[in-house]
């Protein structure tokens, strides 16, 4: 939704390389999330943050790490990309009630 951007929007990488995806929000939302979307699975939570330097794991966190050093930025890192991490990644941010989503990043791991 408005105020949430993701970069890059598309990326092709090779197995074993590190990858960092960035989420930036301008609405000062406290909570931020990373989801992945795969066919037949809907969206699944990878990690989330409830404040600067406060993060926690979601249901599919293996192979991923996150960092949040500023309210507006939430980084998702694949330390050593694998083909199973080929997916569309969505960042979301929100307040106590509703989450709004960024445009998504399509990642292809060869």
Give the nearest distance from C-beta 96 to other proteins in angstroms: 4
CB of 22 to other proteins, least distance (A): 18
Is residue 31 a contact point for other proteins (CB under 8 A)? Answer: yes
Distance of alpha carbon 42 from alpha carbon 95, whole angstroms:
22
Q: What is the DSSP code string of 10-45?
A: EEEE-TT--EEEEEEESS--SEEEEEEEETTTEEEE
Q: Which is nearer to other proteins, 17 or 44 (CB)?
A: 44
* Nearest to 94, CA basis, from 16, 10, 23: 23
Q: Does 61 bind other proteins (CB under 8 A)?
A: no
Residues that bind other proteins (CB under 8 A): 1, 30-31, 33, 35, 40-45, 48, 50, 58, 88, 90, 92, 94-101, 103-104
């Amino acid at each position: 939704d408005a105020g949430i951007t993701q970069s890059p929007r598309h990326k092709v990488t090779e197995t074993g390389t590190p990858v960092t995806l960035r989420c930036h929000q301008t609405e000062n939302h406290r909570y931020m999330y990373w989801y992945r979307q795969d066919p037949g699975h809907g969206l699944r939570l990878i990690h989330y943050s409830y404040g600067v330097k406060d993060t926690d794991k979601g249901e599919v966190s293996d192979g991923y790490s996150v960092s949040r050093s500023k309210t507006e930025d939430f980084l998702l890192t694949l330390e050593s990309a694998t083909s199973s991490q080929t997916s569309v990644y969505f960042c979301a941010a929100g307040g106590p009630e509703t989450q709004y989503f960024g445009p998504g990043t399509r990642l292809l791991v060869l």
